[in-house]
Amino acid sequence: MFRQAYCYNPFLTKCLSETMKLNRTLIISVFIVASCGLAYELIMAALASYLLGDSILQFSSIIGLYLFAMGIGAHLTKYIKDEDALARFIEIELLVGIIGGVSALALFVAFGLSAAPFRTLLYALVLTVGTVVGMEIPLVMRVLNQQQADFKELVSRVLTFDYLGALAVSLLFPLVLAPKLGMARSALLFGLLNAAVAVLTAKMFKSQLPRYRAIQTRGVFVLLILGLGFVYANKITFKAEQSYFSDPIVYESHSPYQRLVVTRWKDDTRLYINGNLQFSSRDEARYHEALVLPAMQMVPNAQNILILGGGDGLAAREVLKYPQVKKVTLVDLDPHMTDTFKHSGELSKLNNRSLSHPKMHIVNADAAKWLEETGGKFDVIIIDFPDPANFSLGKLYSVPVYRLVARHLAPNGLISVQSTSPYFAPNAYWSIVATLEAAGLYTAPYHVYVPSFGEWGFVLAGRENHFPLPEKFDVATRFLNGQTAAEMFRFPPDMARRKVEPNFLNTQILVSYFEQDWGNVMR
């Protein structure tokens, strides 16, 4: 009889319904706050990687510090009284929303000042946001526990939605948010979500909040600030980025893999990837002619050409000067890069519209995986990867990858490799030479002076120790001729070969050489 009376008591039934509704609201909030918490961590790590380089170090240090800060936040919740848990949870959501939301904008502005305040602000934000994010879940669980929820089910549901939220943002961030919204607007979007959770939770629990109107007013104010930031974020970041570069920015964009910025001053167009200069239109011909033409000239009747990297199409432009070429396959990881230099009128002029040439076949894939999965032989293979500044790039300069490349080399074919500076990074340069040799190839190192970069190095490699220096070039050039080509293969004493180790995947010694060499230059 008691059970029957309990079930049909209208007042108790209404109370149970309200309690269940409030609990569902809090559980949904867990999903959202978990997404936001991971998003801030990813955004700050990605920004540090873009602006400071060395993505492995940046992601590792920031994730470690962020988790440590979350532990501090979880510990601090023990000093919050049970009766204050709900109000503190709402206030923390507003706090993490405003700090996390503006974090990317603040970092962009700080980097424009110098790297020192950027690093200080970066780690301060990681500690602050991590601490307040660490307070969220313990407080939610205490609020739910006060609603007389079953503890075993409570823990299960909260942690399930916590992990689901983390999974959702880990997929959305690289695939949708970063390329579509960019870092600053993505952070502001998640800040808006945190603030919305605070406002909605306050409204649902207003009967339990003595200062409901004050909390709601603060929530609306935070939403307004973040909304205005979202609207004007691109203008703010554009002005901040303009201070990084000496020339006006004419194009900038994000992709899941990198950030592209193009600047122009008079007749000088420059491409920056993640803040690092890739070429200047005033002297890029020196670089690309040196990279491509010696190999093309040394392999008579080269018809089938492979380019790894080189998504700007400038190396392809040099290859297509040779009329006997029948097919050029270009493998570049980032479709955004190749699309930009294929379809942008101004940028496609630089590569003579090589990416739209009927002989060109563009593949957007990881070069190492593509080499593993694809057959075929190539007369000349041009490798134009970015410098080995981190482990993900360093693997492309490793013995296993060069062995893969050699499998695709036709008899009497040649490989040409962009190999960083033998003057500024001599250990890294000669390590690349040693790596090619450890892969079973003969090498012919050479270098050229490029005003934008200084002395720059390349390596020819092949199965035979036969590298006939060209006395002339059969195509039009801006820099190379028989005399300059001969000079490229001579090294002065201050760039002489060094005894260094080859680069294996297990050790990635090349990345260490590269960091040490360039670190010495910056001192």
Long-range contacts of 499-503 (CB under 8 A, 24+ apart): 500/427, 500/430, 500/431, 500/434, 501/431, 501/434, 502/399, 502/431, 502/434, 502/435, 502/437, 502/438, 503/388, 503/394, 503/397, 503/398, 503/399, 503/431, 503/432, 503/434, 503/435
Give, in degrees to the nearest 5, the angle at Cα 262 between 452 and 307: 70
C-alpha to C-alpha distance for 393 and 269, rounded to whole angstroms: 25
Closest C-alpha to 348, from 314, 385, 392: 314
The β-bridge partners of 276 are 273
428 annotated to a ligand binding site:
no
**Residues 101 and 221 sit within 8 Å (Cβ to Cβ):** no
Q: Does 367 carry a binding-site annotation?
A: yes
Does 150 count as an annotated binding residue? no
Check whether 517 is labelled as a binding-site residue. Answer: no
From the candidates 162, 384, 387, 517, give the one annotated as an active-site residue. 384
> 388-408 burial, b if ≥16 CB within 10 A, otherwise e?
bbbeebbbbbbbbbbebbbeb
Residue 258 annotated as part of some ligand binding site:
yes
Do 446 and 430 meet the contact criterion of CB atoms below 8 Å apart? no
What one-character DSSP code corresponds to residue 174? I
Asked if residue 58 lies in contact with residue 45, where contact means CB atoms within 8 angstroms, the answer is yes
- Please confirm, yes or no, whether 384 is among the known catalytic residues: yes
Closest by Cα among 220, 224, 225, 219 to 87 = 219
* Helices 178-204 and 212-242: angle between axes, nearest 10 degrees: 170
Residue 517 neighbours by CB under 8 Å, 6+ apart: 424, 425, 426, 427, 428
Residue list, annotated binding site: 258, 288, 312, 332, 366-367
Residue list, annotated binding site for spermidine: 288, 312
Active site residues: 384
Residue list, annotated binding site for S-methyl-5'-thioadenosine: 258, 332, 366-367
